[in-house]
Amino acid sequence: MPVQEPSIAGDNLLRIESRDLLIGMFVAELDCAWSATPFPMGGFHVKTVGDIQILQKYCKQVVLDTNRGTSPPAKRKADLTILSSARQAAPSAAALKVDRDTYPVTQTVKQQIDKAHQEYQALVSAFQQVADGVRHGKKLNLAQLDNSTANIITAILANPQTLIWILNTESSPPTPSAYCIRAAIWAAILARQFGMPEKEITLLFQGTLLCDIGLHLLPERLVNKRGPFRKKEFLAYRKHVEFSLELLSQHPELDEVISRIVQCHHERHDGLGFPRGIKGEQLPSLARFANMAYCFERLLFTNTEERKTSPAKAITRLYKQRMLKFPEQLIVEFIHVMGMYPIGSVVELSTGELAIILEQNESERLFPKIAVISDREQQILKKPKSIDLSANKKSGTSRTISNSANMESLKLNLEDYRFQFFGKKIGIGSMALRL
C-alpha cells in the first residue's frame, strides 16, 4: 500500500522563521531532516515553550499548516508564502525536449478498451503474485510481468486516453500493490507525451513498477500504517529503497537505468527527499517522471479502499507542488495530456447535475464530451445522457462544468460505467468487437 508523505505545497502552507513560532501552530515541514529531531514525521502541534526552544536548536525555518493550527499575524502573511520562499529557493531545471507528435493516435478507446483492460487486470494479478512471493522469501520473478507490461505500453502508445479512462473509472485499486502499476502507467503516459523513445518508456515503466518492491520486506504494520511516522519508524521505512535495490541485484541483466529510477524515486527537486537528498540536475530525468507519477497516485488514493479526491483536483494539487518535488515542465505536459478535466472523472455542472467526462475537445479544453449521470438533485439516472458541451455552447444552451465532484461524498461506483459508452460487445476473446 502507498505510504502517505507530508505535502509542502498549498495555499494554506506558510514558511516562517523558527523564532516566530507560537504555541498552537501546526508544523508541517522542517528545513532539516526529520530524523535529526525528536519530533514525529508528518507534522505536529507546538504545545509548549519547550517545543519552540527545541525547534530553534534544529531549524532556522519551518512550514506551517494554517488549516490545522494557529496562523501568524496577518500583516506578515503575504511575505511568508511557499511561493515566495520555497519555490524561489528551488534549483532551476533544464528543459527537456518535447515532441508531442511522435506517437500518433492509431486506436480509439472503443477499439482497444477490452484488451487494454484485460492486460491491466493480468498485470495487477501477476504483480501481486510477485510481491507476495517476495514477502515469503522467494526470488523476484520479473519474467511473470513481461507480456502484460509490453501490451500495456503498446496500448499507451496507440492511445493514452484508454488507460486514463480505465484508471479513472477504478473506484478502488483491486490489490494492495496495484498503486505501483497505476503509477507506472501514469509515468509512461507522461513519457509518451514528451515523445520519449519506446525503449526508454519501457525502462521507465519497469523502474516505476518496481520502485516499492522492497516495501514487501518490511513489517506489514509499518507498510500499512496510517498517520505520521515516529523517528524509528521513518528510518525503517526508508530502508525499502535499499531493499528494492537488493532485490533488483538478483537480476544482473536489468538495465542500470531501472536501478537509478528505484534509487531516486523518493528524491525531490528541492533536495528535501531521501535517501541522499540530491536535487535539481543531480536527479536522473526518468526518476523525476516516476516521482511525479507516484505523487499523483498518492493524491488520488490514500489507501486501497477509498478514493479521496477527483483526478482534476489531484492535478490542481500536483500543480502546487511544482518546483518543489519536480520541475514545472513535467506537470505542464501532464496537464496537456490529461486535460483540466480528465476522461473518466466526475464533474458537477452549472445545472447541479453530475457528469462523467467521455472525451476531450482539443480545440476547446473546457468543453468536452460528457455523459450526464444524475438529475439536478444528484439522483443517479438509470440511463446517462451523452452531450457534447462544445456543440452545446454553440447552440446557446447553458450547461457548463462548474467544478469537480466531491468523490468522498458520492456513493458512486464508476466501474459500473466503464464499458457503458463504447457500444455492445459482440464475439468472444480476440474475435470480439464493439458495435
Tens digits of per-residue pLDDT, 65-115? 887 888 776 544 444 454 446 666 778 778 899 999 999 999 999 999 999
How many Å separate Cα 77 from the centre of its chain? Answer: 30
Q: Which helix (H) or strand (E) holds 259?
A: helix 256-264
> In this structure, what are the phi and psi dihedrals at residue 126, rounded to the nearest 5 degrees?
-65, -40
At which residue does the C-alpha cell 523525476 appear? Answer: 288
Distance from C-alpha of 64 to C-alpha of 97, rounded to nearest angstrom: 36
Q: What does pTM read for this prediction?
A: 0.80
SS3 27: strand
Over 50: is that where the pLDDT of 6 sits? no
Mapping DSSP onto H, E and C, the string for 404-422 reads: ECCHHHCCCCHHHHCCCCC
When pLDDT is averaged across residues 220-249 and rounded to a whole number, the result is 88
Could you tell me if 166 and 117 are in contact, meaning their C-beta atoms sit under 8 angstroms apart? yes
SS (HEC) of 57-114: HHCCEEEEECCCCCCCCHHHHCCCECCCCHHHHCCCCCCCCCCCCCCCCCCCHHHHHH
For the ranges 134-148, 203-217, 284-298, 420-434, the lowest mean pLDDT is seen at 420-434
Q: Could you identify the residue written with the cell 490514500?
A: 302
Q: Are strands 346-349 and 354-359 parallel, antiparallel or unpaired?
A: antiparallel
Measure CA 376 to chain center.
Answer: 31
pLDDT, greater one: 127 or 230: 127
Q: Residue ranges per domain, the chain?
A: 13-89, 109-338, 346-426
What span, in angstroms and rounded, lies between the C-alpha atoms of 432 and 435? 10
Could you say which DSSP state residue 227 is in?
A: S
Which residues share a beta bridge with 328?
none
Q: What percent of the chain has pLDDT over 90?
A: 53
CATH placement of domain 109-338: 1.10.3210.10
- Cβ atoms of residues 208 and 289 within 8 Å: yes
